[in-house]
Amino acid sequence: MAKFLRPGNPDAIIFGQNEGPKIVGWEKYVLDAEGWHSLWDDVGEVTGTGWRTEMETTENSDEWILAGSGVYRVA
C-alpha cells in the first residue's frame, strides 16, 4: 500500500478494519497492536519512510477479534 502513496506527502493515512481469529497460525488471523506496529516498521525500513500506527480492538468471542487500524506517515 505504501508504494501507491504519493512520495513526499506527509499527510498520508491508511486505515481499515479486519476481523478474524486471534490465534496465530490460523490461515487468517488478526495482528495485535505490537505485530501491526512491527509490520509498519518493516515497511518503513524497506521504503525509507516513517509510520505511526494505531489500533482499536473489540473481542467478539474467546477466539474472534475485530480490529480497526490506522497508519499515518510521519517521515
Q: How far apart are CA 20 and CA 44, in angstroms?
A: 26
Domain ranges of the chain: 11-73
Amino acid identity of residue 10, one-letter, is P
**Helices and strands of the chain, counted as H and E runs:** 1, 3
Q: What is the pLDDT of residue 53?
A: 95
How is residue 18 written as a grid cell? 479486519
pLDDT of residue 3: 65
The confidence score (pLDDT) of residue 4 equals 65
Residue pLDDT tens, the chain, 75 long: 676 676 677 778 888 998 888 777 777 777 888 989 999 999 999 988 889 999 998 877 777 888 999 999 887
Please give the backbone phi and psi of residue 49, each rounded to the nearest 5 degrees, phi first.
-120, 170
Distance CA 13, CA 73 (A): 7
